[in-house]
Amino acid sequence: MGEIDLYDRLVDLAKRRGFFWPSYEIYGGVAGFYDWGPYGAVLKKNIIDKWRRTFILNHQDFVVELESPVIGPSIVYEASGHVENFTDPIVECLSCGRKFRADHIVEDKLGISTEGLTPEELTKLIREHDIRCPVCGGQLGEVKTFNLLFQTRIGPFEHSLGYVRPELAQGMFVAFKRVYEAMRNKLPLGIAQIGKVGRNEISPRQGLVRLREFTIMEMEFFIDPEEKRCPMLAEKAEVKINILTQEAKKKGEAPKQYSLGEAVEEGVIIHPCLAYWMGVAQEFMESLGVPRENMFFEDKLPEERAHYSSQTFDQLVKVSRWGWIEVAGHSYRGDYDLSRHIKYSGKDLRAHKRLKKPVKRKVRKILINKAAIGKRYRSEAPKVIQLIEKTGLEQVLARIKEEGNIQLEGYEITRDMLFEKEVEETINVKRFVPHVIEPSFGTDRITYVTLEYAVKEKDGRLILSLPWDIAPVKAAVLPLVERDDELRSKARKIFQILTREGIPAIYDDAGSIGRRYARADEIGIPFAVTVDYQTLEDDTLTIRDRDTWRQVRIPSQEVANIIRRAIEENIPPWE
Amino acid sequence: MGEIDLYDRLVDLAKRRGFFWPSYEIYGGVAGFYDWGPYGAVLKKNIIDKWRRTFILNHQDFVVELESPVIGPSIVYEASGHVENFTDPIVECLSCGRKFRADHIVEDKLGISTEGLTPEELTKLIREHDIRCPVCGGQLGEVKTFNLLFQTRIGPFEHSLGYVRPELAQGMFVAFKRVYEAMRNKLPLGIAQIGKVGRNEISPRQGLVRLREFTIMEMEFFIDPEEKRCPMLAEKAEVKINILTQEAKKKGEAPKQYSLGEAVEEGVIIHPCLAYWMGVAQEFMESLGVPRENMFFEDKLPEERAHYSSQTFDQLVKVSRWGWIEVAGHSYRGDYDLSRHIKYSGKDLRAHKRLKKPVKRKVRKILINKAAIGKRYRSEAPKVIQLIEKTGLEQVLARIKEEGNIQLEGYEITRDMLFEKEVEETINVKRFVPHVIEPSFGTDRITYVTLEYAVKEKDGRLILSLPWDIAPVKAAVLPLVERDDELRSKARKIFQILTREGIPAIYDDAGSIGRRYARADEIGIPFAVTVDYQTLEDDTLTIRDRDTWRQVRIPSQEVANIIRRAIEENIPPWE
């Protein structure tokens, strides 16, 4: 199928058959928002379920799920750095008033990368090259920064700012301590979440690939920073992935194949757990129908990375209209986020571990000389002791050392009332801020990519060859002849059996059987179950495979089992 | 278990074990936002899956799913009436500056219902009874209205207002035509959606029961308003539900039991499809563990209903701390929403149907006299005909009738170039605005209710007797003795088998077996699978039921099947 029209044909099919379309169409649409229609919503849900199975359930010993709110108070996004850093450069046309991504305008015009340039530098480039408004040709103003957070207010007070989360991660960081404790203080601990985020893009124009609101599937994988191994990697060490290293990129070279084990040994991937999850991520995308050769991992340059990251790989997949697009990011976030939240909240969010060898150390302790206080204050001694404790022994002693005897609420405190002693302490537990590895997936892009890799042309018509396990509808039940009541009644019964068994199916008796097969193929239904005259004699059905158009006869009471086996165990009906 | 402390003990368990807790705790929390922790998130997901199965999959012939965005442009919520009507009365203390729900303050003080009172009337009551600030005793200001929509801006322009959706419904109405066409123009058509909504409550203070952000499960069920029957109701006509009618409510009577069939016949429920979905809704709540006698449906008075509704039943469930709370609403929305969107968008969102008997009617048609035009304009005639058609025959004729001969781009058009004719037309298709029945469920409340109905006390400790199919973890795998390596190794193997089979499970070897059973019971794990010394001899395991504490021995290779059978078919391990 020609690459040029694939996108348009898929978009047409998607609208016609109910996969996706721009939201708010009746009001002219709003850029960056898409609806998932009946089949699209279920396809997306099936992809989410598969991710959940792959990343959470398969690792249920140490990965759990969390659901935190979409809207968050300002302080969270001040701590995370988003209020300060989550911006794009924007420029306004002084003639028509349109606003544009300043970096895109410069890149389009000059064909250079603008990564890391400041607004001032962008303005300078615009002036030097007399770059104009791409719509009306008018003069452009100064480049400013535009914050991409959707801002709102929480409650009735003007100053209570809130934001729509731009990523899921902060929900996991803010709740880390609760989850860590509920999961009984063990590391590694993966906290996964699937949910909506908002990014108020300046002028998104790439359909499902650049949305203002989308669903992320993400995990924050908390590790002990002293733990440099990743036992799980052993089973994937031989898995090959394509990596574009920073060096290769600077030299203009292509991605190179590494085994995950090699990539870790050679320091291309800075942590084995990061490598492990990249391997899982590749397998996940392969299971949706994207071949390995159409995928690579790009090590982002320091100036391309988010403010929190010390290594980030974008996972890229090739699509027809947009070339290479990012479907996931794999970041080593270090202790950036937890440390920021510790600082901003004043709460101790550290993890702890028992030391294998307890450490002994000498510490100076300040103690109260109760005898001295008793002698002087008699029955008031307990009150004075409490006063000293409330003020803090460290502080009281420091003041006495500086000022001589001091007064606390009218009581004189003298040097002899406190004494210092060196004691030996045994430390069994070490407290530390965990490091974090984060695989994060754009669900809507991935669903779109899955559709693009599924769409095939055969005899001039489109077939969605979606993998059986994620296809939104599993079976089309068809009476062979449209107007035969007996066939229809039998087919309805088969449809009802599938419904009762929880198998997503459609019943279709409108039009010639050929048209109905074609319709089912366009929706990506793996199996067409046809009731014909032989069915009425011997209670067998034909079951037709969407991709090979191969047909086999099966006993009608076997239909649910055969389809379930195909979906769950990938065993074809003819085996 | 005493009703008074149940709530507190459940909340304590929820935090400790990872079900739910207030969001943003480390920053002091933000009222109206809750996190679902590891077990809570999965419980909620399981309840959502059950709803999906009950409302969508079981009705897959005519109910489909949709996913529309959380954020929408202003015009949508102007059309829906929310910008104007989605408000609460608010009053500010002139001393301390706190803001309150004015109606709640008046209700708390005077013990009367304030339903339907205007801000002016509320202000008057506050003045007459000298109602003061409940916190500082200061004087209260004027009562105003406060809009509960979370407002934001879409894109970089100040005037592009957007809102966080306060309900899912508008997404379905705006996309109705697309879905209707993709589903091949059939009614009834249910469009269901599950997703987040935001309501910027003034001062929510009821934990999970009054949230500013929550998940709704909702269906808009589109019907032909001329279709007064509901074939599905037949199978549920005998189902009994408790209804508090408007009349009974006014008289202060209790809810009364009706069969769904009776309720429809007596006009208590205005449409049989509304009754059908109420029946499904009751079964759904029963399947989560809420007995029928702790549930009723309240027919809301006109002044209590939302602006779009002509009948609304709240579905109420009794809980320990808050009394009767609404878990779902069942509304007859009529054609309000679609009609509003037709008006605001100018688009035809009507459905259509073939008439059983085509209607013949006489219509006047205007036709072009091509001969007359040909005679005058010769080779230019096609151009002139096109001109007339472009302008519109109706309009051209009207102008000629009024002004005499007219000019169209320099061509004179005379009366004889058009003629009128009466023709008979057969009308086969009727266009109409569908009516809508809406069952809408608050997922977070329902998840909370499910927890409350599950919690039991036994021997002084708490057990979460969650139904097997929705319990977040299905099995706890336990070596009988904590420090026996052989038992632990075998138990790890069993745990890995369950993981591979996709069965949610935990492995636990910390502490005495009694403590571990207790821990599993608190999380609501239905089955504890114990590896003991006999296991090492004959490869059998014990499986212990959470609720009866009954134990049976099973072959270890059967463990996944036995648990799956219990979850999916509700067959206990001992059968």
**Cα dist from B113 to B90, B122, B142, B323, whole Å:** 16, 11, 19, 17
Instruction: Please say whether the beta carbons of A75 and B27 come within 8 A.
Output: yes
CB contact under 8 A, A344 and B25: no
Task: Please measure the distance between the N-terminal and C-terminal CA atoms of chain B and give it in whole angstroms.
Answer: 31
The residue of chain B nearest to residue A91, with distances taken between CA atoms, is: B156
For residue A66, give the nearest of B37, B73, B181 by CB distance. B37
The whole-number average pLDDT for the span B235-260 is 96
For residue A200, give the nearest of B37, B40, B154 by CB distance. B154
Cα of B56 to nearest chain A Cα, Å:
10
For residue A183, give the nearest of B18, B36, B507 by CB distance. B18
The whole-number average pLDDT for the span B187-195 is 98
| Non-local CB neighbours of B166 within 8 Å, separated by 6+ positions | B77, B82, B86, B148, B149, B197, B198, B199
- Per DSSP, the three-state class of A138 is coil
For residue A146, give the nearest of B25, B156, B198 by CB distance. B156
For residue B504, give the nearest of A60, A154, A162 by CB distance. A60
The residue of chain A nearest to residue B349, with distances taken between CA atoms, is: A26
| Non-local CB neighbours of B514 within 8 Å, separated by 6+ positions | none
Which chain B residues are Cβ-neighbours of A17 within 8 angstroms? 182
B328 vs B315: CA distance, rounded Å: 5
- The backbone torsions φ and ψ at residue A419, rounded to the nearest 5 degrees and listed phi first, read -140, 160
Residue B255 region, left (φ>0) first, then alpha (ψ -120 to 50), else beta?
A: beta
The residue of chain A nearest to residue B152, with distances taken between CA atoms, is: A152
For residue A66, give the nearest of B35, B66, B200 by CB distance. B35
B521 vs B516: CA distance, rounded Å: 9
A499 vs A504: CA distance, rounded Å: 7
Which chain B residues are Cβ-neighbours of A504 within 8 angstroms? 57, 60
H runs (alpha helix) in B111-245: 119-128, 169-174, 176-182
How do residues B378-417 score in pLDDT, each as one tens digit? Answer: 999 999 999 999 888 989 999 999 988 999 989 999 999 9
The whole-number average pLDDT for the span B308-333 is 94
Other C-beta atoms closer than 10 Å to the C-beta of B346 total 9
CB contact under 8 A, B75 and A151: no
CB contact under 8 A, A499 and B23: no
**Cα dist from A432 to A17, A225, A349, A350, A355, whole Å:** 53, 8, 9, 5, 12
CB contact under 8 A, B73 and A27: yes
* Cis ω for the linkage preceding A188 (within 30 of 0): yes
The pLDDT, as a whole number, for residue A205 is 85
Cα of A152 to nearest chain B Cα, Å:
5
Which chain A residues are Cβ-neighbours of B25 within 8 angstroms? 174-175, 178
Res. B24 pLDDT band, cuts 50 70 90: very high
Domains of chain B by start residue, with CATH? 3-86+148-336+437-442 (3.30.930.10), 87-146 (3.30.40.230), 354-432 (3.30.720), 473-569 (3.40.50.800)
The complex scores an ipTM of 0.91
The whole-number average pLDDT for the span B492-519 is 96
Cα of B439 to nearest chain A Cα, Å:
18
CB contact under 8 A, B66 and A171: no
CB contact under 8 A, A25 and B175: yes
B318 vs B326: CA distance, rounded Å: 9
How do residues A113-134 score in pLDDT, each as one tens digit? Answer: 898 899 999 999 999 999 999 9
**B181's tokens:** 């066409």
Examine the pLDDT at B575 and tell me if it is beyond 90. Answer: no
pLDDT in tens, chain A (575 residues): 444 478 899 999 999 999 999 999 999 999 999 999 999 999 999 999 999 999 999 999 999 999 999 999 999 999 999 999 999 999 999 999 999 999 999 999 999 989 889 999 999 999 999 999 999 999 999 999 999 999 999 999 988 999 999 999 999 999 999 999 999 999 999 999 999 999 999 989 888 999 999 999 999 999 999 999 999 999 999 999 999 999 999 999 999 999 999 999 999 999 999 999 999 999 999 999 999 999 999 999 988 887 778 899 999 999 988 899 999 999 999 999 999 999 999 999 999 999 989 989 888 889 999 999 999 999 999 999 999 998 889 899 999 999 889 999 899 999 999 999 998 889 999 999 999 999 999 999 999 999 999 999 988 899 999 999 999 999 999 999 989 999 999 999 999 999 999 999 999 999 999 999 999 999 999 999 999 999 999 999 999 999 999 999 999 999 999 999 999 999 999 98
CB contact under 8 A, B99 and A198: no
CB contact under 8 A, A38 and B182: yes
**Cα dist from B338 to A428, B62, B237, B347, whole Å:** 67, 19, 30, 10
The pLDDT, as a whole number, for residue A3 is 47
CB contact under 8 A, B150 and A151: no
CB contact under 8 A, B27 and A61: no
- The backbone torsions φ and ψ at residue B282, rounded to the nearest 5 degrees and listed phi first, read -65, -45
DSSP letter for each residue of A414-425: -GGGEEEEEEEE
Examine the pLDDT at B263 and tell me if it is beyond 90. Answer: yes
How do residues B322-369 score in pLDDT, each as one tens digit? Answer: 899 999 999 999 999 999 999 999 999 999 999 989 989 888 889 999
How do residues B103-146 score in pLDDT, each as one tens digit? Answer: 999 999 999 989 889 999 999 999 999 999 999 999 999 999 99
For residue B66, give the nearest of A35, A201, A347 by CB distance. A35
The residue of chain B nearest to residue A40, with distances taken between CA atoms, is: B66
**B310's tokens:** 């002509």
**B147's tokens:** 């809009």
**B414's tokens:** 């005379």
Which chain A residues are Cβ-neighbours of B519 within 8 angstroms? none
The pLDDT, as a whole number, for residue A518 is 95
CB contact under 8 A, B152 and A156: no
The pLDDT, as a whole number, for residue A306 is 79
